Amino acid sequence: MTPSSKPTCQVAGAYHFAVADIVVTALNDAMFGCTGDFFRLRDRNSKKRAGGKAQGDLSDRAAAANSQCVPVASVHMSERLVLVDSGCASIFGPELGLLQANLAAIGVRPEDIDTILMTHLHPDHVGGLVNGSGQAVFPNAELVTHADKQAYWSDPKVLADAAEGHARQWVQLTLSSLAAYRKRSRIVIGSKSGISAVPEPGHTPGHTGWLLASGTETLVICGDIVHLHGIQFVHPGTGMSIVDVDSAQAVVTHRRIVDMAATDRLRAAGMHLDFPSFSRCARWRSLRICAEPWRSL
């Protein structure tokens, strides 16, 4: 490339963030447009907003304001290399699924990962676990999930109730991902080595945040308690009727986790916050989210 050539692609989508002795790296797996109609926004505080024109207003704002980013986090701890979720691979488009390229960019091979912590088992989080043949992409990794997730997805009713097409394919993807790691899977049982599970029910049964603590610093990786931060922090009663299994409970969880992050001064990261997603929650008239500025390690 000559100095005058225009760049045609971004550099690697990876950003390191230190939590005392732990280094957490946000890896950009995908960015795709998504409208409010997809989420079917639901405001439990106002019957008026839940339908008709007001619902349309919220949806329009979501469509205008939102693209869904799917970051994945890798966590370097002493003698451990942990992945949190696995991104969507190419499920939502052939140009997506940048996890492997971005792992390579930071010098990590799939076989280096020893643990994968799952926030939940939706397709944009399990898509990178298996290849096209249904085999485990991370051959040495133990898959850690919540018991309620396993029970929910293993219930034959979930597959039977899934409509044909994408919904059915996505349930089958989750089941094949669990099968590929069956011999190396573990149910969450309390905290271990600076990592502990935070129950976050609502989005799916067993939806789990992960609390990483080192020294006096703590980061909570929240998973999917927020999809549209531009709307859900302005209207914290907004749930998602399509993607939340229990949107009323998801709203309660959103408020609890954000309140905890603000009160305890935790750093927060989420799978659908804008890349690289590291943020602080703060109270100023209402609960707000403030992206962390760039900083060196």
Binding site for Zn ion (CB under 5 A): 124, 224
| The 3-state secondary structure of 66-95, one letter per residue | CEEEEEEEEEEECCEEEEECCCCCCCCCCC
Closer residue to Zn ion (CB): 124 or 200: 124
Closer residue to Zn ion (CB): 49 or 122: 122
**Least CB distance to Zn ion at residue 125 (A):** 6
CB count in 10 Å sphere of residue 295: 10
Q: How many residues does the chain have?
A: 297
Token output for 40: 């079917």
C-alpha span between 115 and 105 (Å, rounded): 20
Angle between helix axes 166-180 and 147-154 (nearest 10 degrees) is: 130
Answer whether 269's CB lies under 8 Å from 291's CB.
Answer: no
**Least CB distance to Zn ion at residue 242 (A):** 12
Closer residue to Zn ion (CB): 224 or 244: 224
Closer residue to Zn ion (CB): 121 or 180: 121
**Least CB distance to Zn ion at residue 289 (A):** 17
**Least CB distance to Zn ion at residue 70 (A):** 7
**Least CB distance to Zn ion at residue 8 (A):** 29
Closer residue to Zn ion (CB): 43 or 124: 124
DSSP track, 273-293:
SSTT--EEEEEESEEEEEEPP
**Least CB distance to Zn ion at residue 272 (A):** 6
CB count in 10 Å sphere of residue 256: 15
Strand 279-284 to strand 115-117: parallel, antiparallel, or no bridges (unpaired)? unpaired
DSSP track, 112-137:
G--EEE-S---HHHHTTSB-TTS-BS
Closer residue to Zn ion (CB): 137 or 225: 225
Closer residue to Zn ion (CB): 72 or 77: 72
**Least CB distance to Zn ion at residue 223 (A):** 7
Closer residue to Zn ion (CB): 70 or 262: 70
Percent helix / strand / coil, the chain, rounded to 5: 30, 30, 45
DSSP track, 167-235:
HHHHHHHHHHHHHHTGGGEEE--S-BTTEEEEE-TTSSTT-EEEEEEETTEEEEE--SS-S-HHHHTTS
In 43-75, which positions are buried (b, 16+ CB within 10 angstroms) versus exposed (e)? beeeeebbeeeebeebbebbeeebebbbbbbbb
**Least CB distance to Zn ion at residue 113 (A):** 20
